[in-house]
Structure 1
Amino acid sequence: MRSTRVIELPEDFWIPIPLDTDNITSLSPFSVPQDHLGHSGTFYTMAGFMFFLFVIGTSINTLTIACTVRYKKLRSHLNYILVNLAIANLLVSVIGSFTACCSFTFRYFIFGPLACKIEGFVATLGGMVSLWSLAVIAFERWLVICKPLSNVAFKPEHATACCVFTWIFALMASVPPLLGWSRYIPEGLQCSCGPDWYTTNNRYNNESYVMFLFCFCFAVPFATIIFCYSQLLITLKMVAKAQAESASTQKAEKEVTRMVVVMVLGFLVCWVPYASFALWVVNNRGQMFDLRLATIPSCLSKASTAYNPVIYVLLNKQFRTCMLSMLGMVDGEEDVSTTQSVTEVSKVSPA
């Protein structure tokens, strides 16, 4: 691995350069290929990965929104949240993944400082909406299936309020770097942009911003997801135990358990590396690290734009049926009930 040192410049970027390099004047990530950070094959591999995420993320999330507009039976309170998740994923895919794909192809951020700020803001906004939407989905499943508040029903207006909440909180997290609390700069191999985890400039108070993001935009949603899904699994196992002689109930319990595990693992794979890397940098100022490794967490977080709809949408029977119908792959729409039983595991939807 290639060790680097950080040269911090006044406004738009920081320059990681090899320890044996003294010429920094011509290494701007907005002007020249960043070949001093890695082999060209690394850049092109990342470009291919970003192109894959752009195509998959854009197509699936666009289809999700189109299906909901076309088919009235998809307009349930849970699907409101799924559409909210699709919109957030679409933002990251169209702006974040596409921009990164082009920049990795040219091996530097070709769109300039202003576009860097816009891309960093949009990617952060969409990412935060996505994170909180996943937490809201988990909360909704817990509220509907486990019935902790027996007299309270989760209604469409509650789902709408939850969606509005995700955007308000996401704006609270993504706007500050535009106003001076941290900043958006090229990250990793300098071909995508995000919050400044790296520098110690007191002017931007980067450390406090990173801790804010970690606590309220990662730890809280993650704790919500773990709590709600663990309670859901406990409830499902109790129902399955009570219906031990029912083969369909036992099968459904296993399917839902598997789905919950996949959902949590997907969340961890997409977001834990990014959060962990940011915390490590903040708590190890001055330590050398390989920029190729620093790029991986950013790319994994963008992978959620393709992973989330596969888990939460394509494996949802209603959405899957309507998508196939819209694409002309089935003759007619399957009659899928939008209601769910709170007593029979076989009717509990995992998404």
Structure 2
Amino acid sequence: MRANHGTELPEDFWIPIPLDTNNITTLSPFLVPQDHLGGSGIFYALAGFMFFVFVFGTGINALTIACTVKYKKLRSHLNYILVNLAVANLLVASVGSFTACCSFASRYFIFGPLACKIEGFMATLGGMVSLWSLAVIALERWLVICKPLGNFVFKPNHAAACCIFTWLFALIASLPPLVGWSRYIPEGLQCSCGPDWYTTNNKYNNESYVMFLFCFCFAVPLTTIIFCYTQLLITMKMAARAQAESASTQKAEREVTKMVVVMVLGFLVCWLPYTTFALWVVNNRGQPFDLRLATIPSCFSKASTVYNPIIYVILNKQFRSCMMKMLGMGGVEDETSTTSAVTEVSKVEPA
């Protein structure tokens, strides 16, 4: 790059690698294809991946909501939270994945600066709701199965309050870049938008915003999930030892162990790459990195709209049977056999 574009701070974008130009505006991701950042094959491959995420993410989550509306038996307090997760995933898939697919296919962000801010905000909002919903699900399982509050019963109004909390906290986390604390700009290969991790200008104070997101939107939910599921495993193992001759208890213990491992790994796959990359950029200002690799964390977080419902919904026997019924692929199972593994476990207590 012939010019030091550290002194040029475009209002609506920032390309954080050296470029062979004296005028970075001529390479604006809102005006021209970003072929200087990667080969066309990479853009088209990512467009195909985002198309898959858009189609399946939109379909699975819309089906989850439709099933809950149609079948009254799905309207339990836990399923309210799962529907909240589905709504958040649907928002990310229909807005974030769709715009990313179109932009990768065009090799630049074709919708313009205002749409970039809207897409960044909506994707961040949906992502934060999804992330906190996972923590709320873990908290609900801990309260129901481990009974730390004694006879406290987790009711639908509690679930509704938790859902409202996820949206309020997500708004607190996603609004600041719209009012000057950081900003939403194209990221990675400049075809999707998110918070600005790159620049150090005091006008945006990006470092403090990144640390805020890391502490309250990643570390706290992850700690909640690990604590709750660890307590769940301990309770199940105690129940299994106390009822060593009960085949159903032993089976439930094994199922819960697998469930916990899958859920924690799913959370980490969703968010660890994105969080790690953001922290690395903030703490290694000026270090070169490949923007193609920088795009992967964003794609992983958007792909959570597909594998979150697979983990939390499709593996739930009630939702799975109702989905099959709605799609004409089978009948709804008897009530006695439609309870999910985690619900069966809630009936098991250590002696």
Calculate the TM-score normalised by the size of structure 1. 0.94
Q: Runs of at least 4 residues of structure 1 off by over 6 A? A: none
Aligned-residue offset at 1:63: 0.3
- Measured in 2, the distance between the counterparts of 1:337 and 1:319 equals 9
Residue 349 of structure 1 corresponds to none
Residue 196 of structure 2 aligns with which residue? 196
The Cα offsets for residues 119-178 of structure 1, whole Å up to 9 and x where unpaired, read as 000000000000000000000000000000012111111000000000000000001111
Q: Which runs of 5+ in 1 are unaligned?
A: 346-351
What is the alpha-carbon root mean square deviation over aligned residues?
Answer: 1.8
Cα pair distance change 1:257/1:217, threshold 3 Å: same
Cα distance in 1 for residues equivalent to 2:332 and 2:175: 45
Q: Does 1:44 align with 2:44?
A: yes
Q: Separation in 2 of the partners of 1:187 and 1:342?
A: 43
Letter in 1 for 2:222: F
1:19, distance to aligned residue in structure 2 (A): 5.1
Q: Percent identity?
A: 80
Unmatched 5+ residue regions in structure 2?
A: none
Counterpart of 1:208 in structure 2: which amino acid? Answer: S
Structure 1 residues 76 and 343, CA gap change in structure 2 (3 angstroms): closer
- Cα distance in 1 for partners of 2:178, 2:301 equals 21
Partner of 2:115: 115
Indicate the SS of the match to 1:303.
Answer: helix
CA–CA distance in structure 2, aligned partners of residues 79 and 259 of structure 1: 17
Deviation of 1:241 after TM superposition, in Å, equals 1.1
Change over 3 Å in CA distance of 1:294–1:6 after alignment to 2? farther
| Distance in 1 of aligned mates of 2:5 and 2:208 | 20
Tell me the equivalent position of 2:218.
218
Q: Is the Cα contact below 8 Å between 2:182 and 2:204 reproduced in 1?
A: yes
- Is 1:285 matched up with 2:268? no
Contact 1:54 1:97 in 2 (8 A): yes
Number of residues of Structure 1 aligned to a counterpart in Structure 2: 343
1:257-276 equivalences under 5 Å are 257-276=257-276
Aligned to 2:182: 182
Letter paired with 1:195: P
Does residue 238 of structure 2 align to residue 234 of structure 1? no
| C-alpha contact (below 8 Å) 1:17/1:37 kept by paired residues | no
Query: Which string of whole-angstrom CA distances, capped at 9 and with x for unpartnered residues, describes residues 315-341 of structure 1?
Result: 001100111111111144532358656
Label 1:341 to 1:106 Cα distance change in 2 as closer, same or farther (>3 A). Answer: closer
Question: Against the structure 1 CA distance between its residues 312 and 6, is the aligned structure 2 distance closer, same or farther, given a 3 Å change threshold?
Answer: farther
Would the aligned equivalents of 2:5 and 2:24 in 1 still touch at CA under 8 Å?
A: no
Correspondence for 2:66: 66
